[in-house]
Structure 1
């Protein structure tokens, strides 16, 4: 019998527990020290949508400020495709050391697992919420030569022309796509969905008349103000302060219509908690700033400072909110 076996079990267990607590304390101390020094080199921020879209604009606004306040460059890298899955996988496969972050819509985490049956990673398990950045509304916009003046006329026009009009989105499963499908279901109309690789190319085709309407996440609002597009309604439960006279779809008669989504930052699971906490604190400082709020307002969005847990809970809520729609409308990833 060796020495360990000869020790009374309770005594051995107490010593093992004490050793474990000491080790945990040491590791915790290391994590805190890492966070105090973090970052000591450039941080890569993967945006899983193309340049020019909401995720890109929001990320660049925040990373510019983080580079100044945290003393190291936050370098943006766009990796678009597969509804955000390509950029998501790149983030998941990166070291969990705080030097690779992902900026994405909540939909990639909450929606994509339901519409992409063969994802190579599990975003809920493989990514850790860091900080939300923005609540993004969607705006129902039509090309200016469409013979309608308001949302009610538009719904009537769609009913008179079933399947003849088309609408664009940043891709299958994106919030503008789900908004379009929710609109079709609640209004009982038919239209053809045209998915793009991001909101910017979809907006270009709306401007060019290749598609008839779009649920815009905010990038086309300057074109609305310039009279190049016609805004008919807001896809949220409350009106936009930018367009206080434009009704919500709920007000038009599509009860409880809301297709808001949240954009924010994630890190590979296993990233030290102390680093996550530090990033959350610094990102929330930017999100709460007047400069960021004003810029986001011009894009039609709202700041959304949250704790990591609150951000994760929002993604879970979206899964519950859109799950039935995805099933009923047979929405699949492209």
Structure 2
């Protein structure tokens, strides 16, 4: 793994991009002209989604506004995914053996803290970030029960560190859920090594989720979707100059480290038997993979339908991935309760 660690230490996220993420996480730059808000119409009156969104909003950090204004309807998707993870975690968690969730990236860990708060002890979460500013935001609203923060990049969270660090030892038996939140694309296109390293922390029947931006096989199609994102959504929150600046500082470098959906599917098939697309927005996708068809179906069945306007959707979720196909369950009905 030595070469992998060197690759990660030299990655753009920890070098060329470091100042951008530090300043944005601290609130010194990158703030939108107005705060993002969930579009309640997309929840179609679903009380569970609305309740999760309310608690989620109360504990935002300084980076959240920038992120949710940068990816169209990512706020609604985080609420939708969070609601499903809450249902899943409370169903499998017990007082003496709570569900263990790891959000790899996720800046200040707002999703993880919301799950820990609403889980009432049935869910314990771990978040990580290399930015001290994100750690400060993690504790901005007090020291959360059942939620832990690791200050450091994901590749520093080794098995040995997990076992020997008191606050991390509770997670040493592995995670039921791991969510990679737009992180690998900031390091390199080496998904095989990245997934292989993190997968060591996943339980044998756990579910690995990936929120990533993917290259398209047709470069013109990729650009078209980017223009839709920038001019149809981001322009509501950022000036043209700010959008151009981020494209130059972050996105051009990040694009080099993206992979295609087909390549990702091929990589996942080396580690998992089952997988699918659970959400799509332009060039962004959320994928889910597991070696337990039952647990993957259970999580998918807990998800509400995607809360996003049709014009941003290019794959109807849930959708199969090549080499990882299995019988896809329908998403839950809007308005169904946690105990259904």
Higher relative contact order at CA 8 Å, sep ≥6: structure 1 or structure 2? 1
Same fold (TM over 0.5): no
Larger radius of gyration: 1
